[in-house]
Amino acid sequence: MIRHDFYAVEPWSLRETKFDPDVLGQSESVFALGNGHIGWRGNLDEGEPHGLPGSYLNGVFESHPLPYAEAGYGDPEAGQTVINVTNGKVIRLLVDDSPFDLRYGHVVNHERVLGFRTGLLERQVEWESPVGKRVKVRATRLVSLVQRAIAAISYEVEAVDTELRVVVQSELVANEELPPKADGDPRASAVLEAPLRSEEYSSRPAGAVLVHRTAASGLRVAAAMGHEVEAPQALDETVESFEDLARYTVTAVLKPGERLRLVKYVAYGWSQVRSEPAVRAQVEAALAGAVQTGWDGLVAEQRTYLDDFWARADVEVEGDAEIQQAVRFALFHVLQAGARAEGRAIPAKGLTGTGYDGHAFWDTETYILPVLTYTVPQAAAEALRWRRDTLPQALERAGQLGLKGAAFPWRTITGAECSGYWPASTAAFHVNADIADAVTRYIAVTGDTDFEKSVGLELLVETARLWRSLGHHDARGRFRIDGVTGPDEYSAIADNNLYTNLMAQHNLLSAAAVAERYSDRALESGVDDEEAASWRDAAAAMFIPYDDALDVHQQAEGFTSHEVWDFAGTPAEHYPLLLHFPYFDLYRKQVLKQADLVLAMHLRSESFTDEQKARNFAYYEALTVRDSSLSACTQAVMAAEVGQLELAADYLAEAALMDLDDLEHNTRDGLHIASLAGTWIALVAGLAGMRQHHDPHEGTTLGFKPRLPAGITRLAVNLSLRQSRLRIEVTADAVTYSLLDGPPQRILHHGHPIDVTPDNPVTRPIARLPTAAPLHQPAGRAPRRWEAAQ
């Protein structure tokens, strides 16, 4: 069942077995390494050919003016774009007098393997130069999950059948030339020419350091490299450095079968405030630490870190090898995106590309953090601490908008709003409730009361204040939130978006609850009983738009009266619609880019009856074109809940294969981290039916309603719950809940409490569901698992 031609299906790795220049960009993204601080795209060691050269440091960006044809009050004036920092990956090779370049000569064989357990990207290539000289290159690359500032490469070149002279140039390259931006696609990034200005360069034996500063944002970026060489005989070494280039060169003559091996250590650092000597010293210290650890030490640390991760987080899938691989690929990249982000955002693309300018959106809290919360909870806490750290900007933004509390940005690197089109950004206030939801989820899952009464309380209080000031009571006493944009980006500026209202309701209640629980702390934030009561009142009066004639909820007030999009008249090549139709037209019709009300049914499950869920799902399913990668996983979750198991499986596959099959044709710009996280969500919230049940007295309890589709014979999920590790193993007929370690936990199985204790797994039978009546998608927009293969 190999649907993605280029990558072999294996349980614990992603393997590329041939070299194809056409998938270079996609492969650079899927083979990207990172730790949340450093990101290295899977560029070839020799730098070229490339799709997009990319080395990123989380938080390093350049500012640029945001232009407007007609500016309005409150429009953000400055944008932020992630920049390609100093490239420490480059190792060039001269074979006699031919540059090693896969575009010339002959690639005898080529393989790259990303190991989900090793955390290594291994490459083997055998190449014959245009004049017939043959070499083998073995290169292994890592970005350390343990030593945050460190990446390293082991590079080995071997003469195959004739003696030859090899010259290896290991470089630091700043201000690499970048390919131009793909025309007209707003999802790609701005391209800034040469964003780095040299401040310092120097070399020492087998090493060098470059220090640069960004012109407008004023960030100082340093990169240092050091090398170890093994050669069969004496060799020549030189080091040189310039403003935008440092180079370590070794030359050797290899007899057939002889190898030259180079280990390259690269250290990165950056700061907005520290001096040039301080930042330089910081990278040199990190480098010294890595050299002392040594290559084997770094590899061993990586393995230990990942063994621990998989023991806590693995998801086992039997019956569908592709999904098994995909969910581990997904978990690996979600981990890479968030593991060491510490104090910085987790961008929509992680650190795998420049798509969306390197900005973080609501995806982080709604898609990525659920996965991290159950697998690497401290990373989820760090991500929310970053939001808390940006509170001053969010408070200021709210003030600028005439609102109270915090208005977090729609898209940002630093916390400042960077969106230049307010109907799809500023108006999408739901991001604030999404952050609050991530806070309550994290607290419920971890029981982290220190976090709850500090970061959690602050975030819940300021977002609740926002909602209270954004909404108002109408003459009939309903609390309305008018003129906002929900998750569906093909609708905007609507009154009472159901998702927004329900999430705001939860936000208001959560804030009131935490203010009650920690009244002293709340008082320090100025929350008195009256304010908390006003939150509860607004939540109780929240307006829920419903169409009585159709007997479905409305995505927003009046939505179901709008004209239905002419799906039958829209040819396949006119998707994604946003590139072929004006927003004007999309906004006023019944057409959804992505799950909106359906997402509300997942996250605010208890606000809907089962019958409502089924009717709503069927109604909105027929309107949702999934031009957003955030859609499939949520539709998988709700398809599973309403008993549409095969449809759930199809959506699971679409979410899982988004990048492996390049379903949106833009994986080259970076991975869809939220969709990857959605693979886990589709399996865990979808097939395993996991929900958080909120009860004012009992607190939050984790519940499951597991059911497998035909193609999956076994699903096992490992996750963290408070101080315990829980394992849920589902087959077609039964589910077993086990506690791997930690104190006993009470969970719910189809709403019935089960106490799971160590060494006492609990098994429950699963009743088969009758086959569900088929649902309809918009014409031509059925789930896309097989698209890439057709």
* Residue 544 burial by Cβ neighbours in a 10 Å radius (0-12, 13-18, 19+): middle
Closest to its own copies by CB, 106 or 472? 472
Catalytic annotation present for 128: no
> Minimum distance between the CB of residue 551 and its own copies, rounded to whole angstroms?
13
Asked if 421 touches its own copies (CB under 8 A), the answer is yes
Q: Which residues pair with 65 in a beta bridge?
A: 78
Applying CB under 8 A, the span of 67-75, 343-351, 600-608, 657-665 interacting with its own copies comes to: 67-75
> Is-contact 120 140, C-beta < 8 A?
yes
Applying CB under 8 A, the span of 60-68, 605-613, 669-677, 686-694 interacting with its own copies comes to: 60-68
Provide the token pair at 342.
């510490």
> Minimum distance between the CB of residue 435 and its own copies, rounded to whole angstroms?
19
Asked if 423 touches its own copies (CB under 8 A), the answer is yes
For the beta carbon of residue 586, count every other beta carbon within 10 angstroms: 22
Q: Angle CA(216)–CA(217)–CA(223) in degrees, nearest 5?
A: 110
Closest to its own copies by CB, 209 or 427? 427
Applying CB under 8 A, the span of 220-228, 322-330, 397-405, 740-748 interacting with its own copies comes to: 397-405
Residues between 495 and 514 with contacts to its own copies, criterion CB under 8 A: 495
Task: Please select the residue that binds its own copies; options are 1, 549, 568, 773, rule is CB under 8 A.
Answer: 549
Provide the token pair at 332.
């690996």
Task: Please select the residue that binds its own copies; options are 289, 294, 483, 761, rule is CB under 8 A.
Answer: 483
> Minimum distance between the CB of residue 8 and its own copies, rounded to whole angstroms?
39
Looking at residue 650, the DSSP 8-state letter turns out to be H
Asked if 426 touches its own copies (CB under 8 A), the answer is yes
**Cα–Cα distance, 507 to 438 (Å, whole number):** 10
Provide the token pair at 493.
């500026």
Asked if 67 touches its own copies (CB under 8 A), the answer is yes
> Minimum distance between the CB of residue 582 and its own copies, rounded to whole angstroms?
3
Catalytic residue among 489, 654, 664, 729: 489
Task: Please select the residue that binds its own copies; options are 400, 519, 525, 612, rule is CB under 8 A.
Answer: 400
User: CA–CA distance from 35 to each of 121, 521, 700, 758 (Å)?
Assistant: 14, 35, 31, 33
Size, binding site for its own copies by CB under 8 A: 53
State the angle between helix axes of 391-400 and 457-470 in degrees (0 to 180), rounded to the nearest 10.
10
Secondary structure of 221-289 as H, E, C letters: EEEEEEEEEECCCCCEEEEEECCCEEEEEEEEEECCCCEEEEEEEEEEEEECCCCHHHHHHHHHHHHHH
Residues in the chain, total: 790
**Cα–Cα distance, 581 to 406 (Å, whole number):** 34
Residues between 721 and 780 with contacts to its own copies, criterion CB under 8 A: none
For the beta carbon of residue 573, count every other beta carbon within 10 angstroms: 6
Residues between 183 and 242 with contacts to its own copies, criterion CB under 8 A: 184, 186
Applying CB under 8 A, the span of 232-240, 482-490, 618-626, 710-718 interacting with its own copies comes to: 482-490
Residues between 441 and 480 with contacts to its own copies, criterion CB under 8 A: 472, 474-475, 480
Secondary structure of 390-401 as H, E, C letters: CHHHHHHHHHHC
Closest to its own copies by CB, 81 or 129? 81
Closest to its own copies by CB, 47 or 420? 420
> Is-contact 650 776, C-beta < 8 A?
no
The binding track of 18-57 with respect to its own copies, each residue x by CB under 8 A or -, is: ----------------------------------------
Closest to its own copies by CB, 458 or 557? 557
> Minimum distance between the CB of residue 583 and its own copies, rounded to whole angstroms?
5
User: Would the CA dihedral through 624, 625, 630, 634 be positive or negative?
Assistant: positive
Closest to its own copies by CB, 68 or 104? 68
Q: Which residues pair with 281 in a beta bridge?
A: none
> Minimum distance between the CB of residue 408 and its own copies, rounded to whole angstroms?
15
Provide the token pair at 781.
């927009």
Closest to its own copies by CB, 211 or 578? 578
Phi and psi of 202, rounded to 5°?
Answer: -160, 160
> Minimum distance between the CB of residue 422 and its own copies, rounded to whole angstroms?
6
Asked if 643 touches its own copies (CB under 8 A), the answer is no
Provide the token pair at 204.
């020492």
**Cα–Cα distance, 605 to 642 (Å, whole number):** 12
Closest to its own copies by CB, 44 or 578? 578
User: Would the CA dihedral through 351, 356, 362, 368 be positive or negative?
Assistant: negative
Asked if 562 touches its own copies (CB under 8 A), the answer is yes
Closest to its own copies by CB, 424 or 592? 424
**Cα–Cα distance, 211 to 362 (Å, whole number):** 33
State the angle between helix axes of 377-389 and 430-446 in degrees (0 to 180), rounded to the nearest 10.
140
> Is-contact 237 229, C-beta < 8 A?
yes
**Cα–Cα distance, 292 to 294 (Å, whole number):** 5
**Cα–Cα distance, 242 to 210 (Å, whole number):** 8
Provide the token pair at 646.
């095969």
Asked if 561 touches its own copies (CB under 8 A), the answer is yes
Asked if 70 touches its own copies (CB under 8 A), the answer is yes
Asked if 583 touches its own copies (CB under 8 A), the answer is yes
Residues between 131 and 190 with contacts to its own copies, criterion CB under 8 A: 184, 186
Provide the token pair at 671.
């991975």
> Is-contact 70 102, C-beta < 8 A?
no
Closest to its own copies by CB, 31 or 356? 356
3-state secondary structure (DSSP) of residue 144: coil
Provide the token pair at 427.
């108006």
Asked if 523 touches its own copies (CB under 8 A), the answer is no
Closest to its own copies by CB, 557 or 641? 557
> Minimum distance between the CB of residue 403 and its own copies, rounded to whole angstroms?
8
> Is-contact 157 91, C-beta < 8 A?
no
> Minimum distance between the CB of residue 413 and its own copies, rounded to whole angstroms?
15
**Cα–Cα distance, 188 to 335 (Å, whole number):** 24
Asked if 422 touches its own copies (CB under 8 A), the answer is yes
For the beta carbon of residue 293, count every other beta carbon within 10 angstroms: 19
> Minimum distance between the CB of residue 402 and its own copies, rounded to whole angstroms?
5
Task: Please select the residue that binds its own copies; options are 12, 581, 622, 732, rule is CB under 8 A.
Answer: 581
> Minimum distance between the CB of residue 418 and its own copies, rounded to whole angstroms?
9
Task: Please select the residue that binds its own copies; options are 22, 72, 193, 520, rule is CB under 8 A.
Answer: 72
Task: Please select the residue that binds its own copies; options are 36, 53, 79, 105, rule is CB under 8 A.
Answer: 79
Active site residue ranges: 489
Binding site for its own copies (CB under 8 A): 66-76, 79, 184, 186, 400-402, 419-424, 426-427, 472, 474-475, 480, 482-484, 492-493, 495, 549-550, 557-558, 561-563, 578-585, 587-589
